[in-house]
Structure 1
Amino acid sequence: MPTAALAAALAAALATARQHLVGRLGARFGALRYLPALFRQVRAASPRLFAASLALRLVGACLPVAMLWLAKLILDAIVAEHARPRPTPMGLDAWLADPHLSRLAALVAAELALAILADLIGRLGTLADGLIADLYGNAASLRLMRHAAALDLAQFEDSAQQDKLERARRQVTGRTSLIAQVFGQGQAVVTLLSLAAGVAVFTPWLIVLIAAALVPAFLNEWHFTRAGYRLAWMRTPERRRIDYLRYLGASVETAKEVKLFGLNGYITDLYAGLADKLVADNRALAIRRAGWGGAFAALGTLAYYAAYAVIVWRTVAGGFSIGDLAFLAGAFQRLRGLIEGLLLGFTQISGQAQYLEDLFSFFETVPTIRSPESPAPLPDPIRQGLAFEDVGFRYPGSDAWAVRHLSFALAAGETIALVGENGAGKTTIVKLMTRLYDPTEGRILLDGLPLGAYDLDALRARIGAIFQDFVRFDLTAGENVAVGWIQARDDAGRIGRAAVRGLADGVIARLPARYDQPLGKRFEGGVDLSGGEWQKIALSRAYMRDAEILILDEPTAALDARAEYDVFRRFRDLSAGRAAVLISHRFSTVRMADRILVLEQGRVLESGTHEALLALGGRYAELFALQAAGYR
């Protein structure tokens, strides 16, 4: 190979190696960029405690070298006293009168004072760190909840985003120890510098020896910390599945069916299989880490005792005094621990910072459905209503269209019913109406403007919606109704009127504590309700707000036909003058709508009144006949 070609190949290989090394270093140290943001949040949680903790650690960092120096002075004074002739025995008066012995007593008293001060500072620092950690944990949890609430429904339904949220949730409180650890590292650095300055007066080159011997231990811990993070990151889906299996196997919500279907063995076997795999992975990593860590720790111990032997030899040769020996031995012992702790602590901090990246990268997740910078004023009242114009929508990650070429209008004051088999697109339409999703194509107008032109919160405040899979909150009965408009949770009259409209007043009247009765079995004193009773509670939520658009998306599945008919009849009466959407599989209820849209494969197949659709003899008439036959 020509020399020029060889040189070019070598240069390319070196560039590739350099790029690989830089990439690895960047991956390992890149997460440290979140530490300033963490400390800004910690300081914001309690500026006074933050400053107090820093001050305590700064003072505490200087105490070890001061105490070692006092110990040196005490030993040298004792040795000098042994060499000085004095009358024996000596009484207390003679001790106090002797200036040499008085100085020795003062040195001992000073060391005692520093020992008491060191203990006090340590306890106060631990107290401050604990209080800061609690305050920061609460503040970070609130921030996590608020940010999660701002994310899109699609981001919640995406499994990768769920993994990201799970990792962030674990780090909110799991990384509070990082705060104290970084503070401790800063304190250790100050202590190390002060000790190194003292040792440098005698034997500066021995510090280099100890530090060089501990570098391999640092690299070893760095490697295994990174490996531990990678393992935890890859196992996030399995951990979520384990948490879910733990919930299935030990939850009041699932206990009935688990017992009835005999699922306990199946669930515990699934749990054991996943848990054993995680334990095996962690055990293999821990064994490798312990083995290599022990070998490198032995190397550090060897370097320390080599330095100690040099100090002893210099003392025997007359180069150092006994006090110097004590100071250097103590300083080297502390330096060894400090250097080892700093190197290993740095790898731990960089490792924890990688987990911290899970938290802050979650905060960097930006919702796609949000309010415009200059929203248009929402019409008050709504005059024209909603209009779908050639709307198409695909769920994220799916190639299939949930709805396509969908065009229809919902006029102000009109009640429409959506009818169709499962998967026809009924619930998707409701999600698009409430802007839980934005259309993939086409547009949805409200009084002539796209929904995206309005403030998101203001838009949703005008809509009252109850879904089939409504939430059963383990709160009081009054709070379960009030969640429909939580701003009015203290308005007992409004809650009572909403319960009457949703037919929940009779259910609540039978409860021991009425509106103050806790519901659900999760907490002590809670009372559970039947499916139909829960649905009446949920229906009442829709009447909590003065919404101009009301939506009932199959929330009455647990009610019998007569009860559902009564609910929808009352719903129609109470929604007079408002736009309303009904979704139900029972044709006896949807027939009361002003207009019925028959959906099939995401398109409007038929549209008209109940009588007109029956006369048409199409899909609606066919479905109506099939359901009617079931009642004969």
Structure 2
Amino acid sequence: MNNVNYFYQAAQFVWRIDKGWVINSVFLRIIGGIIPILGVVLLEKLVKNVQQLLLNGGPIHKELYFILASQIIIFSLQAGFVNINNLLDGKIEIKLEYEINKLVNTKAANSPAYYYDNPDFYNHLERTKYSRSQQFLNPLINFLDIFQNLITVSSFTILLINTHWLLAIICLVSVMPVYFIERKFGLKQFLLLKYQTPISREFQYLDSLLSNRDSIQEIKIFNAQDYIIKKSASLFLKKSKEELNYLKKRETSYFLLKFLNNFALVIGVLLLITMVTSKKLALSTFIAVFQAIRETQTILLNLSNNFSTIQSQMHFLKDLFELLYFEDKTYIKGNSNTVSFPEFKDQGIKITNLSFVYPYSNRKVLSDVSLDIHPGETIAIVGENGSGKSTLIKCLMGLYPIMDGDILFEGISIKTIDELELLKNITVLFQNFTKYNLTLKENILLNDSLKENDIEKFQDVIRLSGVKDFYKKLEEGAETRLGKLFLDGEELSGGQWQKVAIARALFKKGELFILDEPTAALDPRSEYDIFKKFKMMTENKTTIFVTHRMTATKLADQIVVMKNGKIIEKGNHNELMMKKGEYYKLYKMQNKLLEENYSYPIT
């Protein structure tokens, strides 16, 4: 898609958001384009009248008062139109900021999870993070400025040609280099921003480490603040050096251009003086034309700047649209992703010969995984870190595209199920769950309203998750804001945050419940209690819990042992203990550690 199409789409979008802004802006530009030539005509008449007054003497006549009054009105209108334009532009910017942020946030939220493994997508998102409305609106404003300046320069050109055709040529030639210089540096500015995006992201990350409540504690403990500051400063200096180098080249070019413009102005004035001395030009006309030359040069400079700037701004506009249209061709979708998620009745979940490689990587994380999960069954997936447990869960959720093998829900391929349906019917509690700096109620509901028929359920999940243990101690109960990001927040312990996250998972309805090591920060007995309560709450529902600890595996109908991306053992607790394989080794090893550290074995 070329720049013209992006510009046309932007114009259509603005027209849809605020037609009044477009109509008013065009009208104001037309009037604004006519005013300068009227000012020059009035200036000539003013000088002519003053000359006559000096030659003939006598009182000031009415025409002079009329000219002065007209100039006051014109100059006031010119200033007033600028203020009105600024007000209108400010109003549309607010509207656009809201609408574009909504579009970008929707794109970010609805993008496949693996897009966030793509540095290009992340950098793209970062580049378009700030001043989106300005980036979107500036090309349109520049286009309107071009329209206004063309009206003005056309009227001045006619005046200059009528005086002497060389005057128009001098003005035109003196500003032609401006267009090419502005265009060159506009492109360089965009390319510099694009090149510096990864550096800027790293700098911002390091900067955030020193202002983040959690990270600063560890940095101080390890006495790493000097290293982080030094590394951050190094990136800043590198970035600043490149920006200053660009700035030096640009300002040097601008200085030479101004010298050329002033030289051209002197030539034009000399031509006018020659015409005055040869009686071909009146003094009043000389002053008016001199003013016209200066204004023509300024407007031609503005036009050159407008044309080059609009091309530079089109790079930013293109960047924004490319983000909104971003699609990785390697993201494979089924032919029809409109099938509803089925209710588990007979077949449940069937994973067949599933192999997986993370996007932008060559290492196989899952290899030929096959597994049957019956409806209502509780499955425990165990294994050491890096065995592929969490990756298998991400594939089950549809967060990553399946290249080899398939996952069937009641015989229906995951590749054909509607993504929203899939996410709606699967409830997952991750190890690195999000701590929302919202109220307790909002943390559990991820909403701000509790329906009347959900009040009893809300109370149940608070009780079963263990939130009730500290719920009543909170100053405003369910309306207490959690976290210390805001002034009125109440901080929770790691275990309390996990109980809130578990309550959130319990409250959501779904056909499949997954716990991906959510209790890693809890002691083994508390972990067992949580799994037990979760199993009670999800009775008759298909449940999968992932862990590298054996605390609650006895609660599972089937235990799946993973190692190096493969399933190496399957069965219930007693069956696997009798095999004396990998599960047996892990169980015995952890049992010994628990006896040493907690004075009790695995439950």
Q: What range describes the TM-score normalised by the shorter chain of this pair?
A: over 0.9
2:33 paired with 1:61: yes
Aligned to 1:139: 99
> Is 1:111 aligned to 2:71, yes or no?
yes
1:283-302 paired onto structure 2 within 5 Å: 283-302=244-263
- Pairs within 5 Å for 1:486-505: 486=447, 493=455, 494-505=457-468
Aligned AA for 1:54? V
| 1:207 is aligned to 2:168 | yes
8 Å contact kept, 1:388–1:444: yes
Contact 1:57 1:125 in 2 (8 A): no
| Residue matched to 1:34 | 6
Q: Secondary structure at the match of 2:353?
A: strand
Which of 12, 17, 24 does residue 45 from structure 1 map onto?
17
* CA deviations over 1:65-106 (Å, ceiling 9, x no partner): 11211221222233334444x6x4x4xxxx6xxxxx223322
Q: Residues 276-307 of structure 1: CA distance to partner in whole angstroms, max 9, x if unpaired?
A: 01111111121122222211220121011211
Tell me the CA shift for residue 569 of structure 1. 0.2
Aligned with 1:235: secondary structure?
helix
**Is residue 404 of structure 1 aligned with residue 364 of structure 2?**
no
- What is the aligned partner in structure 1 of residue 421 from structure 2? 458
1:16 aligns with none
Secondary structure of residue in 1 paired with 2:73? helix
Of the three residues 259, 262, 269, the one matched with 2:220 is: 259
Change (3 A) 1:59 1:499: farther
Moved more, 459-468 or 363-372: 363-372
- Contact conserved, 2:207 with 2:232, CA < 8 A, in 1? yes
Contact persistence 2:145–2:306 (CA under 8 A): no
Aligned with residue 387 of structure 2, among 424, 444, 455? 424
**CA distance in structure 1 between the partners assigned to 2:195 and 2:86 by the alignment:** 34
Give, in whole Å, the separation in 2 of the partners of 1:606 and 1:465: 24
| Within-5 A mapping of 1:526-565 | 526-565=489-528
Equivalent residue for 2:438?
A: 475
Q: Give the whole-Å Cα distance in 2 for the aligned partners of 1:474 and 1:447.
A: 38
Counterpart Cα distance in 2 of 1:519 and 1:350: 47
Q: Helix, strand or coil for the counterpart of 1:497?
A: helix
Q: CA–CA distance in 2 between the matches of 1:508 and 1:66?
A: 74
Comparing 268-277 with 584-593, which one deviates more in the overlay?
Answer: 584-593
Residue 233 of structure 2 corresponds to residue 272 of structure 1: yes
Compute the TM-score of the two structures, normalised by the length of structure 2.
0.93
Distance in 1 of aligned mates of 2:261 and 2:5? 30
What are the Cα deviations for residues 128-182 of structure 1, in whole angstroms up to 9, with x where unaligned? 0111112112211111000111211110122222111111223524525444344
Are residues 459 and 248 of structure 1, via their aligned partners in 2, closer, same or farther at CA, if it must alter by over 3 Å?
Answer: same
Contact 1:171–1:356 (Cα < 8 Å) also in 2: no
- Whole-Å separation in 1 of the counterparts to 2:425 and 2:279: 91
Question: Does residue 152 of structure 2 align to residue 180 of structure 1?
Answer: no
Question: Larger deviation: 432-441 or 340-349?
Answer: 340-349
Alpha-carbon separation, structure 1, partners of 2:458 and 2:271: 83
Equivalent positions of 1:570-585 (< 5 A) are: 570-585=533-548
User: Which region of structure 1 is more displaced relative to structure 2, 414-423 or 196-205?
Assistant: 196-205
Residues 445 and 451, structure 1, Cα contact 8 Å, conserved in 2: yes
CA distance in 1, matches of 2:243, 2:332: 40
Structure 2 distance, partners of 1:188, 1:555, is 63
CA distance in structure 1 between the aligned counterparts of 2:337 and 2:531, rounded to whole angstroms: 38
Aligned residue among 115, 123, 126 for 1:155: 115
Contact 1:371 1:455 in 2 (8 A): no
Q: 1:371 to 1:478 in 2, by over 3 A?
A: farther
Separation of aligned partners in 2, 1:472 and 1:454: 30
- Give 1:412 shift: 1.2
Are the structure 2 counterparts of residues 496 and 70 from structure 1 closer, same or farther at C-alpha, using a change threshold of 3 Å?
Answer: farther
Do the aligned residues in 2 keep the contact of 1:35 with 1:353 (CA within 8 Å)?
A: yes
Number of residue pairs the alignment of both structures matches: 590
Unaligned stretches of 5+ in structure 2? 596-603
1:434 aligns with 2:397: yes
- Residues in 1 aligned to 2:266 and 2:450: alpha-carbon distance in whole angstroms: 71
Does the 8 Å contact 1:462/1:546 carry over to 2?
Answer: yes
For residue 111 of structure 1, what is the amino acid of its counterpart? Q
TM superposition shift of 1:273: 0.4
Correspondent of 1:597 among 560, 563, 570: 560
What amino acid is the match of 2:30?
Answer: L
Contact 1:467 1:552 in 2 (8 A): yes
Deviation at 1:371, TM superposition (A): 7.8
Map of 2:48 onto structure 1 = 76
For 2:600, the equivalent position in structure 1 comes to none
Task: Report what 1:328 is aligned to.
Answer: 289
Judge which range, 363-372 or 554-563, deviates more.
363-372
SS in 1 for 2:379: strand
Residue 87 of structure 2 corresponds to residue 127 of structure 1: yes
Q: Write the distance in 1 (CA, Å) between the matches of 2:354 and 2:23.
A: 57
User: For 1:446-496, what per-residue CA distance to the aligned partner results, in whole angstroms no more than 9, with x for missing partners?
Assistant: 11110121211112111110101111111111111112xx49656672544
Indicate yes or no: 2:322 matched with 1:364. Answer: no
Query: Pairwise mapping of residues 205-244 of structure 1 onto structure 2 (< 5 A)?
Result: 205-244=166-205
| 1:54, distance to aligned residue in structure 2 (A) | 2.3
Output the amino acid matched with 2:102. Answer: L
**Match among 185, 190, 195 for residue 151 of structure 2:** 190
8 Å Cα contact 1:424-1:601 kept in structure 2: yes
CA distance in 2, matches of 1:317, 1:239: 63
Which digits, 9 at most, give the CA deviation of each residue in 1:334-358, with x for residues without a partner?
A: 1101111221232222122212222
Q: What secondary structure does 1:413 align onto?
A: coil
User: Which whole-Å CA distance do the structure 1 matches of 2:346 and 2:284 have between them?
Assistant: 93
Contact 1:371/1:456 (8 A) holds in 2? no
On the 8 A contact 2:340/2:421 being kept in 1, the answer is: no
1:625 CA drift (Å): 0.8
- Name the structure 1 match of 2:598: none
Alpha-carbon deviations, 1:519-556, whole Å to 9, x = none? Answer: 11111111211110110111111122211100000011
Matched, 1:624 2:587: yes
Q: CA 1:583/1:228 → structure 2, altered by over 3 Å: closer, same or farther?
A: same
For 1:21, the equivalent position in structure 2 comes to: none
Map of 1:19 onto structure 2: none
The answer to which of 379-388 and 538-547 deviates more is: 379-388
* Shift, 1:432, TM fit: 0.8
Alignment match, 2:475: 512
Deviation of 1:271 (Å): 0.5
> Which amino acid in the other structure matches residue 502 of structure 1?
S
Structure 1: give runs of 5+ residues left out of the alignment. Answer: 1-25, 96-100
Superposition deviation, residue 121 in structure 1: 1.3
Question: Secondary structure at the residue paired with 1:224?
Answer: helix
How big is the alpha-carbon RMSD for the aligned residues of Structure 1 and Structure 2? Answer: 2.1
Change (3 A) 1:374 1:429: closer
Q: Distance in 2 between matches of 1:466 and 1:58?
A: 60
3-state SS in 1 of match to 2:574: helix
TM-score when normalising by structure 1:
0.89
Q: Is the 8 A contact 2:113 2:400 kept in 1?
A: yes
Q: Tell me, in whole angstroms, the C-alpha distance in 2 between the residues paired with 1:64 and 1:174.
A: 28
Which one of 146, 167, 173 corresponds to residue 127 of structure 2? Answer: 167
Return the alpha-carbon distance in structure 2 between the equivalents of residues 480 and 602 of structure 1. 34
Distance 1:459 1:488, change over 3 A: farther
Q: Is the 8 A contact 2:525 2:551 kept in 1?
A: no
2:599 is aligned to: none
Question: Contact (CA 8 Å) 1:50, 1:132: kept in 2 or not?
Answer: no
Structure 1 equivalent of residue 601 of structure 2: none
Task: Name the CA distance, whole Å, in 1 between partners of 2:412 and 2:310.
Answer: 52
- Aligned-pair CA distance for 1:508: 2.5
Asked if 1:339 is matched to 2:311, the reply is no
Deviations 1:383-415 (A, max 9, x none): 421110111110012222111111111111011
